[in-house]
Structure 1
Amino acid sequence: MAQLDVGPLIAGREFGARIRGISFEQASDPAIREEVNALFEKHGMIVFEQVEPSGRMHVALSDIFGPLKDHPSKAVPRVDQDGMPGVIDMEAKVAEKGTMTVEGRTVISWLPWHFDHAYNNELNRAGVLRAIDIPPEGGLTGFLDGIELYQRLSPELRERIEGRNILYRMNVIMKDFRFGVPDDYTVHSERPGSAAVMEAAKDVPRAVHPAVWTRETGEKVLHLSPWMAEGIEGAETPEGEALVEAVSREIFALGKELAYWHKWSTTDMLVWDNWRVLHAVSGHDPRYKRRMQRTTIKGDYGLGYFEGGASNDNEILERTY
């Protein structure tokens, strides 16, 4: 097998790697898989460029990183792919509801910094994402390394947030987004289906995850998701909310400097470490459609739990989004 064409994602930074031209056949080669997984563990995300734009390639790349996990909600649209459970299909149609104004732009599909499944006790290991329909401008996906965030967070906030656990609840109502909200943020309409998701999730207990955790390498990770956060466990007070707000605002501010924003091609696929990396979506002009597909890689870092000791049973998971 030919050697991989590997390079840095961002010049001078450890975060992220690029792999160009990996083939369907290479994705099943044990030596290649070992090399790719080592890059993933070290750098936190990989952008695969110039790959076959197909469902079978999406399957092959996803399989490198571990077994696939079905999405928690049976209501989320799926794509049927052989051997690929729960491929979610995320589509924003032309002139669909869900528009908002953010920093002077009227957009659809804008999402703030977050990690996936914060509202569950288990955190999937990773996600593998690809683009099907790409708007002519906007529609970028952003990634922010929690190791760099921890290192750059102000010492005062690091000391105050470390050792704290954050409460999360499923909430897809964008008017309810609370922490780190941009100064110019107005929601004009909610996405179709949001009310139904909220109704289904209303009795699901809150999940709890540490704001900072330590990798086996010894590196500390700031892993606070401003989206869907509700406060600090045991400190749901004005002071606790002010601390979550301060850290969230610093995440957004640092994101302007540290984030990698991926401009999509249909021959790109990428994977990110959901235990380490926050991601966001820039939004795009509602006159254009955008369609993405994502797989979920099974795994858990073992640090999350449901409030009150609720169990992780299928009834709870299938009611979440």
Structure 2
Amino acid sequence: MSGLDVQPLTEGRNFGVRIRGITLEQTQDPAIRDEVNALFDKHGVIVFSDVEPSPRMHVALSDIFGPLKDHPSKAVARVDQDSMPGVIDMAMKPGEPGDIDVDGVTLASWLPWHFDHAYNNELNRAGVLRAIDIPPEGGRTGFVDGIDLYNALSPELREKIEDRNILYRMNVYMANYRFGAPAGYRVHSEKPSSDIVMEESRDVPRAVHPAVWTRTTGEKVLHVSPWMAEGIEGDETPEGEALLEAVSREIVELSKDLAYWHQWSPTDMLIWDNWRALHAVSGHPPKYGRRMQRTTIKGDYGLGYFEGGASNDNKIVERTY
């Protein structure tokens, strides 16, 4: 045995484990790499606590899980690509545009439940996050297991959504967020980078992903991203929209009990399974800043495609490292 300190994130739950104190040297040990990958496949989220808070540790941890892939949008800020290829930098400075009202509270950096790259035909395997600047209030990142969501979904909705495919488009204008929006949802302003992202994705066709898929281990996963969803393939009708809204609304409600919300420390890094989990950001008071860095692990589950049989040439350009 490797002697890794492994504990559940939530007692009595399979979703998520915490590994304390893994070292840079251990990330290069083949036996430890195999053990960590097995834990990831089984549990879907790993929080690495008490690790060296450095760019080299971020990249070394990410390398355990596979090659890195650049973010598909050129408008997303990058860290120095010579020293940290594939690392994106997500910073919100105090007072920047982008504030949103959620349940009567004005927040910066709030994001709804989603999976990454839903707007492409390929889905990256995972993301690895670390916090650089942590606001003293809020700023948590939430994760919910699609296996848990499928099992908890009402039987009526489960039957209706089981064999449906969902249409997605790169749409970062938060005013366009439609399905499962919280009470009192109001966008004060869009982020400055949103116009660039929308322009570069203007001619990309919509992507299609199954609402439910089955893992090789047999579990069914409810994998609907309320953010960037545009409708149900072949059923863009009032009835289809009502079904997608009902499923999205239930995801939001179920997540209140099922989600794990991570309160960040500078010595934390975290990986989540993008084929299995949804994630969200709680937001924080606009008077504070927040800065995160992320790597993306290449991979694809092989079930997505572009609407109308559009070719892979239509995808938003990506690079692998």
Q: Alpha-carbon deviation of 1:70? A: 1.2
Q: State the distance in 1 between where 2:64 and 2:184 align.
A: 41
Q: Alpha-carbon deviation of 1:81? A: 5.2
Question: Which residue in the other structure is 2:96 paired with?
Answer: 96
| Aligned partners of 2:55 and 2:84 also within 8 Å | no
Q: State the distance in 2 between where 1:304 and 1:23 align.
A: 36
Question: Which residue in the other structure is 1:180 paired with?
Answer: 180
Question: Which residue in the other structure is 1:87 paired with?
Answer: 87
Say which SS state the counterpart of residue 91 (structure 1) adopts.
Answer: strand
Say which SS state the counterpart of residue 79 (structure 1) adopts.
Answer: coil
* Structure 1 residue 197 corresponds to structure 2 residue 224: no
Question: Which residue in the other structure is 1:145 paired with?
Answer: 145
Q: State the distance in 2 between where 1:121 and 1:192 align.
A: 27
Question: Which residue in the other structure is 1:316 paired with?
Answer: 315
Q: Alpha-carbon deviation of 1:212? A: 0.1
Question: Which residue in the other structure is 2:296 paired with?
Answer: 296
TM-score, with structure 2 as normaliser: 0.97
Say which SS state the counterpart of residue 144 (structure 2) adopts.
Answer: strand
Q: Alpha-carbon deviation of 1:58? A: 0.3
Q: State the distance in 2 between where 1:284 and 1:318 align.
A: 32
Q: Alpha-carbon deviation of 1:84? A: 4.1
Q: Alpha-carbon deviation of 1:269? A: 0.1
| Aligned partners of 1:59 and 1:83 also within 8 Å | no
Structure 2, unaligned runs of 5 or more = none
Q: Alpha-carbon deviation of 1:318? A: 2.8
Question: Which residue in the other structure is 2:113 paired with?
Answer: 113
* Structure 1 residue 263 corresponds to structure 2 residue 260: no
Q: Mapping of 1:7-26 within 5 angstroms? A: 7-26=7-26
| Aligned partners of 1:55 and 1:81 also within 8 Å | no
Q: Which string of whole-angstrom CA distances, capped at 9 and with x for unpartnered residues, describes residues 225-250 of structure 1?
A: 00000000000000000000000000
| Aligned partners of 2:72 and 2:317 also within 8 Å | yes
Q: Alpha-carbon deviation of 1:196? A: 2.1
Q: Deviation above 6 Å: which 4+ runs of structure 1?
A: none
| Aligned partners of 1:128 and 1:269 also within 8 Å | yes
Say which SS state the counterpart of residue 57 (structure 2) adopts.
Answer: helix
Q: Alpha-carbon deviation of 1:75? A: 2.2
Q: State the distance in 1 between where 2:83 and 2:309 align.
A: 34
Structural RMSD (CA): 1.2
Question: Which residue in the other structure is 1:28 paired with?
Answer: 28
Q: State the distance in 1 between where 2:70 and 2:2 align.
A: 33
Q: State the distance in 2 between where 1:104 and 1:161 align.
A: 31
Question: Which residue in the other structure is 1:52 paired with?
Answer: 52
* Structure 1 residue 282 corresponds to structure 2 residue 282: yes
AA of the residue aligned to 2:143: F
Q: Which string of whole-angstrom CA distances, capped at 9 and with x for unpartnered residues, describes residues 202-233 of structure 1?
A: 11100000000000011000000000000000
Q: State the distance in 1 between where 2:54 and 2:152 align.
A: 39
Q: Alpha-carbon deviation of 1:127? A: 0.3
Q: State the distance in 2 between where 1:196 and 1:83 align.
A: 26
AA of the residue aligned to 1:80: D
AA of the residue aligned to 1:274: N
TM-score, with structure 1 as normaliser: 0.97
Task: Percent identity, please.
Answer: 77
AA of the residue aligned to 2:127: G
Q: Alpha-carbon deviation of 1:198? A: 1.2
- Aligned pair count reads 318
Q: State the distance in 2 between where 1:200 and 1:262 align.
A: 32
* Structure 1 residue 171 corresponds to structure 2 residue 185: no
Q: Alpha-carbon deviation of 1:8? A: 0.3
| Aligned partners of 1:127 and 1:273 also within 8 Å | yes
Say which SS state the counterpart of residue 283 (structure 2) adopts.
Answer: strand
| Aligned partners of 1:68 and 1:84 also within 8 Å | no
AA of the residue aligned to 1:316: K
Q: State the distance in 1 between where 2:274 and 2:91 align.
A: 22
Structure 1, unaligned runs of 5 or more = none
AA of the residue aligned to 2:250: E
Q: State the distance in 2 between where 1:233 and 1:81 align.
A: 38
AA of the residue aligned to 1:51: V
| Aligned partners of 1:163 and 1:211 also within 8 Å | yes
Question: Which residue in the other structure is 1:154 paired with?
Answer: 154
Q: Which string of whole-angstrom CA distances, capped at 9 and with x for unpartnered residues, describes residues 65-115 of structure 1?
A: 001111112221100255643211000011000001101211111000000
Question: Which residue in the other structure is 1:128 paired with?
Answer: 128
Question: Which residue in the other structure is 1:251 paired with?
Answer: 251
AA of the residue aligned to 1:317: I
Say which SS state the counterpart of residue 23 (structure 2) adopts.
Answer: coil
Q: Which string of whole-angstrom CA distances, capped at 9 and with x for unpartnered residues, describes residues 148-183 of structure 1?
A: 000000000000000100000010111110000111
